[in-house]
A and B are shown apart, each in its own frame.
Chain A
Amino acid sequence: GDVAAQGVRAALRQRYLRGLAAARGRPTRFCLREGVWVDAVFGAADVDAVAFQVDALRTPLGVQAAALLRCADVLAYSFLL
């Protein structure tokens, strides 16, 4: 029961972290609330899933060299391998 669930949890988490590693440095589109989306280069995510660190965030006022996107504001993101 608990031991099996913990093993599955570890396997799921490991695959997720490998996915984050694969995202690093890739152009990524973030879909935010209220139909807004932004393009940036994926940097990193914190372990508690509070925020994403991105580089080269494109905004209507220009490109921000570095930024933090709060996970609560992000609905989804995608990138190409």
Chain B
Amino acid sequence: MNDWQRKSPLDWETYVNKMVKVAAIEKHEYEGWVLTIDPVSASIVLATFLENEKVSISVVLGHAVQEVEILKEGDDEMKQRLSCIFAPEES
């Protein structure tokens, strides 16, 4: 297990709704807004908003995460936008 995988849910929660840069193994880098971190695998789910109003989701697996740097805090509008992405469909 790496340092990222050993963090507690309360540690992971501090990254939610923030813009981060994830450094992964083999020199891969990913940037996006943190939607969540899976507490089982420590995988990070990132969202990026594209120009055509589509949303790109990237998931970096916990075992591949080396470092996560916070670039920007999300304001209330961004938090609202992020919370809608995976919201259950109304029935």
Contacts and interface: CB of A to CB of B under 8 A. Distances in A.
Contacts of A48: 40
B10 A16 contact: no
A76 B62 CA distance: 9
A76 B58 CA distance: 7
Interface of B is mostly: mixed
Interface residues of A, number: 31
B35 interface: yes
A80 B87 CA distance: 16
Contacts of B64: 74-76
A81 B85 contact: yes
B91 interface: no
A19 B36 contact: yes
A18 B57 contact: no
The A interface, classified by DSSP as helix, strand, loop or mixed, is helix
A47 B38 CA distance: 11
A80 B9 contact: no
A76 B24 contact: yes
Interface of A: 4-6, 8-9, 12-13, 15-16, 18-19, 21-23, 31, 33-35, 47-49, 71-72, 74-81
Given A15-B86, A78-B59, 18 more contacts: A5-B8, A6-B9, A8-B10, A12-B39, A15-B36, A16-B39, A16-B43, A19-B35, A19-B86, A22-B86, A31-B28, A47-B40, A49-B61, A76-B24, A76-B28, A76-B58, A76-B60, A77-B58
Query: Lowest 10 CB-CB distances: which A-B pairs, in order?
Result: A49-B41, A15-B36, A18-B86, A9-B9, A16-B38, A78-B58, A75-B64, A8-B9, A81-B55, A9-B39
